[in-house]
Amino acid sequence: MKRLSLRRRLLLLLIGSLVLVWGAMLLVGYGEAREEIHELADARLQQGAETLLVLDLKRLARLAQVGTDREAGRGVDVEHGVGVRPLAFQVWSSDGRMLLASAGAPAAPQRREEGFLTLVVDGREWRSYSAYDRKHDYQVTVLEPLAVRDHPVREVTGHMGQVLLWALPLLALLVWISIRRALGPLAQLSQAVGARDAGNLEPIRPPRVVAEVETLIAALNRLLERLARSLDSERAFTADAAHELRTPLAAIKVQAEVALAAKDEMSRRHAIEQVIAGVNRATHLAQQLLLLARLEHEEAGSRQVVDLGCLAAERVAQRAGDAAGRSMDIELSAEPGCTLSGDPATLAILLDNLLDNAIKYGNSGGHIAVTVRHDAGAPVLEVADDGEGVAEADRARLRNRFFRVEGSASSGSGLGLSIVEKIAAAHGGRISIGTGLSGRGLGVTVRFGSDRPTS
C-alpha cells in the first residue's frame, strides 16, 4: 500500500483544517449577518408603523392607493424581494374590521396584540409589527416578507465564500512552500543517513539543525557510535579467532606430517595422538566461539524458574570425574530457595565454564568450593579454588577474549570468563574476580539480579 509522504500529509491536514475553519466562519458570519439584518429590518418595521400612526385614515387611504397604482405598472417578485414595496401595511378598526390595506399586503388576519410577529400566509413567511392609535381608535400593522431579508444575507455570505475560495489555492501554495522549507533539515538528514554504511559510520552533522530534529540526530549519532564499536569488536573478534584457530591447525598439520614421516610405530602413534589432541582443542575452541557469538546476537529465550542450588549440584556431579582425574575434590554448599528467572541451558554453561577453569588451573590434588547463597535478596554463585591464582594486575584482563595468563601450563581458549560474563549479564547479573580459598587460587563470584521470582 502506497503511503503518503510527510509533506503531503501535512499539506492535507493544514488545508483540511483551513477549509473546516472557513466553513465554520461562513456559518458564523451567515448567522451574525442574518441577525443584524433582521434587527435593522425590525427597526424599520417599527419606525414605519409609528410613522403611519401620525397620518389619519384619509391620508393612509391615499398612500395605499398610490402604492396600488405603482404596483399595477410593474411585476413583483415577492420570493426574492425584487420590486416589493418596502412597507406593506393594514389598517384595522377596533372591532376587527380591515379598513384598508396597501398594495402587496397579504391577507393576514388581525392581531390585536402590539409588537412583532412572524406569521405564514399562503405558504410564505412574513414579519409584522402592530401599533394601536388610541386617539383615532384604529390599529396599524406593517408587514414585510422574510425573503426580502434573507436575500441580502445570502448575497453577503456568497461574496465571502467566493473570496475564501479564491484565496484557498494561494494559501495552499504558501503552505506547501512553508512545509518544504520547514522539512528541509529532514531531507538533509535522510540523505546523510542514506550515505552511511559499514565503512562510513561518522557522526551526522547537517549544516542546519532545528530543535525538533536535534534530539533525533543525537540518537542516531549514538546508534552509529554503538554500531562502530560493535563492528570494531566483531573485526577484532574475527581476527583473534582466526589467529587462535591458526595455532592448533598448524600444530595438527605438523603432527600429521610427523606421523607421515615416522619410521617406527611408536613415533607414528604418538604423532597421531597429538593430532587427535589438536583436533579436540580446535573443536573446543570452535564450540566456544560459536557459543560466544550466539550469546552476543541471540535474543533471550523463554525463561523459567531455576533453582541455582539444584543446577549447581547437577553440574558438580557431571564434572566430578574430571576433577577426580586430577585428584581434586569439589565441595558444594547451597542454601535452599536460591531461585531466579532464567534459561537453564545457558546457566549450566556458565557453571561448566567456571568448574572447567577451576579444574584446569587449580593445583592437582587441590580443593574446589562451589557456594550458592543469598545476599540482600539476590542469589549469588561462587566458585573458588586453591591453585596458583592470578596476579592482581592480570585479573581485570581475564574477562578479555583469548587472554591467557603467561606461564600457565594448562591450555585453554581464553573465552571461558567472557562467556560467563555474557550469560550473567543476560540474567541481570555481574561477575567479580578475587582471591580463592585460604588466600590462594582464584575465586569468581556471580551476583544475579535481586528480582527473584516466586515459585
**Based on the domain organization, do 222 and 314 belong to the same domain?**
no
- CA atoms lying within 13 Å on the CB side of residue 15: 19
**Based on the domain organization, do 224 and 356 belong to the same domain?**
no
CATH of the domain at 274: 1.10.287.130
Angle made by CA atoms 308, 319, 337, in degrees to the nearest 5: 15
Cell of 103: 398594495
Neighbour count for residue 324 (Cβ, 10 Å): 12
CATH of the domain at 375: 3.30.565.10
Number of domains in the chain: 3
Which domain covers residue 90, as residue numbers?
6-168
Of the three residues 292, 320, 338, the one that is the final residue of a domain is: 292
pTM as predicted: 0.47
- Is 375 within a domain? yes
**Based on the domain organization, do 346 and 376 belong to the same domain?**
yes
CATH of the domain at 124: 3.30.450
Task: Provide the pairing of β-strand 115-121 with 98-101.
Answer: unpaired
- Is 195 within a domain? no
Of the three residues 292, 327, 358, the one that is the final residue of a domain is: 292
**Based on the domain organization, do 283 and 317 belong to the same domain?**
no
- Is 183 within a domain? no
**Based on the domain organization, do 149 and 51 belong to the same domain?**
yes
**Based on the domain organization, do 251 and 307 belong to the same domain?**
no
- Is 127 within a domain? yes
Which residues are bridge partners to 133 per DSSP?
138
pLDDT for 167 equals 82
What Cα–Cα distance (Å) separates residue 146 from each residue in 64, 74, 123, 434?
A: 21, 21, 12, 100
**Based on the domain organization, do 270 and 380 belong to the same domain?**
no
pLDDT for 78 equals 42
- Is 10 within a domain? yes
pLDDT for 217 equals 80
pLDDT for 313 equals 92
**Based on the domain organization, do 134 and 231 belong to the same domain?**
no
**Based on the domain organization, do 287 and 385 belong to the same domain?**
no
**Based on the domain organization, do 26 and 138 belong to the same domain?**
yes
Of the three residues 240, 274, 292, the one that is the final residue of a domain is: 292
Specify whether the CB–CB gap between 359 and 441 falls below 8 A: no
Query: pLDDT 10s digit of each residue in the chain, 455 long?
Result: 456 677 778 888 888 888 888 888 888 888 888 888 888 888 989 998 888 888 878 888 888 777 555 554 444 444 444 444 457 888 888 888 888 888 878 888 887 788 998 888 888 888 889 998 887 788 889 988 888 877 788 888 788 788 877 888 888 888 888 887 777 777 777 777 777 777 777 777 776 666 767 787 888 888 888 888 777 767 766 665 665 567 667 778 888 888 888 888 888 888 888 888 778 777 766 766 666 666 665 555 567 888 989 999 998 898 888 888 888 888 999 888 888 888 888 888 888 888 888 888 888 888 999 999 988 888 999 999 888 777 666 666 565 555 555 444 445 555 667 778 888 888 888 888 888 888 888 888 999 876 444 33
**Based on the domain organization, do 13 and 150 belong to the same domain?**
yes
**Based on the domain organization, do 401 and 305 belong to the same domain?**
yes
Rounded distance, CA 91 to CA 100, Å? 5
- Is 204 within a domain? no
Cell of 39: 434587527
Specify whether the CB–CB gap between 85 and 67 falls below 8 A: yes
